[in-house]
Homo-oligomer: A and B are copies of this chain.
Amino acid sequence: MAALRGGSVAACVLPLEVERKFLVPTPPDWLSSCRAQEIEQGYLAIEGDEVEVRLRRSGDDTYLTVKRGSGEQRTEVEVEVGAEQFAALWPLTAGRRLSKARHHVPTEGGDLEVDVYRGALEGLITAEIEFGPGDQPQSFEPPEWVGDELTGNPAYANQSLATQGVPADAPAQRAPRPDS
Contact = CB atoms under 8 A, between A and B. Distances in A.
Nearest to A12: B88
A51 B44 CA distance: 8
Interface residues of A, number: 31
A11 B87 contact: yes
A3 to B, nearest CB: 9
A64 to B, nearest CB: 8
A77 B51 contact: no
Contacts of A82: 6-7, 9
A105 interface: no
How many copies of this protein are present in the complex?
A: 2
A39 interface: no
A92 B79 contact: no
A155 interface: no
B75 A91 contact: yes
A150 interface: no
Nearest to A3: B88
A60 interface: no
Contacts of A4: 84, 87-88
A88 B13 contact: yes
A161 interface: no
Interface string A31-54: 000000000000011110001110
A87 B85 CA distance: 17
Contacts of A88: 4, 11-13, 77, 79
